[in-house]
Amino acid sequence: MLRKLYDRVFALARSRHATPALALVSFAESSVFPIPPDVMLAPMILARPDRAYVYAAVCTAASVAGGMLGYAIGFFLTDVGLMLMRLLGHSDGLAQFRAWFDDWGLWVILIKGLTPIPYKLVTIASGLAAFSFPAFVAASVVTRGGRFFLEAWVLKRWGPAMLAQVEKRLALWTGIGLAVLVGTVVVVKLL
């Protein structure tokens, strides 16, 4: 079963629909979608390392555009923004984000944009807190671009060797990946 799923992901990564799908997922993830674009970006880079930085650029541009939508939701549709914050498990998170913005300002976006904390929380909270829109966009470009271009560089450089190991022990690496994902979520929830 894992092999079939793995093969399907790589087939999509090589298809002509891969880049628009990556852009759509990156855009949606920044405001409402729960799955990060990395699940598409990584296989696409591994399938076509020659296009690694093109994919990173698409991912960055779409993510920042989606972040602008998230900001707009928080800024113009406060009730919807608060509802989304509650759905994401941060019903009292707005007060905390506002305090962070008051204390740290731009650093909130710069740090949170690089962490596993869902970026949509940062975008919606930035709008709810009426944080400077130009500073928000600039910080989003830096953090999202930094994350996706770093991922592209690592996968382009060491991806083929990593891919060979993953393909040999697919079940083991899937288990490790799930453990890391669950561990990250638990740590983020505890913080």
- Which 3 state secondary structure label does DSSP give 113? coil
Q: State residue 39's pLDDT score.
A: 80
> Which tens digits make up the pLDDT trace of 71-87?
999 999 988 888 888 78
Residues 26-73: tens digit of each pLDDT: 999 888 877 788 888 888 898 889 999 999 999 999 999 999 999 999
pLDDT of residue 12: 75
pLDDT of residue 87: 80
CA-CA-CA-CA torsion sign (163, 43, 144, 91): negative
| pLDDT: which is higher, 51 or 188 | 51
Q: Report the number of distinct structural domains present in the chain.
A: 1
Say if residues 73 and 31 touch (Cβ distance below 8 Å): yes
What domain range is 107 assigned to?
2-190
39: how many CB neighbours lie within 10 A of its CB? 12
Residue 19 above 90 pLDDT? Answer: yes
Whether the per-residue pLDDT at 191 is higher than 70: the answer is: no
163: Cβ–Cβ under 8 A, 6 or more apart, which residues?
46
Report yes or no: 124 and 71 within 8 Å, Cβ to Cβ: yes
The chain-wide mean pLDDT, for the chain, equals 81
pTM given for the model: 0.78
Q: Between 174 and 109, where is the model more confident? A: 109
